[in-house]
Amino acid sequence: MDILKAECRSYTASTLVDELREAGVPVAKVNSMDEVAEDPHLEATDFFTEVSTAEGTDRVVNVPRFPVVSSGFDRVESNDPPKLGQHTEAILSSIGYDESDIDTLRREGGV
């Protein structure tokens, strides 16, 4: 295995892939995350979208969009993740807590 690793390292990835394909070896290059993020095809097809990260920061990250696109349907934009506690009241209400119960939980540090 060490001999194979050393030999592979003596080639660029694209040259190695080309030569292995010519020899009939099924092969494909595994891209790094940076290479995927900068892939011209993915850029041209608007594959990634930006979403905000943690509350209180200006940081955004690129994430893949839903990969299926059908004619006649608009692509749905991804939403930013919910803020901490954003849906707490609605969730507690949906499982039977009334406003008084929720206020008590807040006051006592339960939520």
Phi and psi torsions of 88, nearest 5°: -55, -50
pLDDT in tens, 38-70: 999 999 988 888 888 766 678 888 888 877 777
pTM score > 0.85 for this model?
no
57-108 confidence digits (pLDDT tens): 788 888 888 777 778 877 777 667 777 888 999 999 999 999 999 999 999 9
Helix ranges restricted to H, 2-66: 2-9, 13-22, 33-37, 40-44
Residues comprising the chain, all counted: 111
Cα end-to-end span (Å), the chain: 55
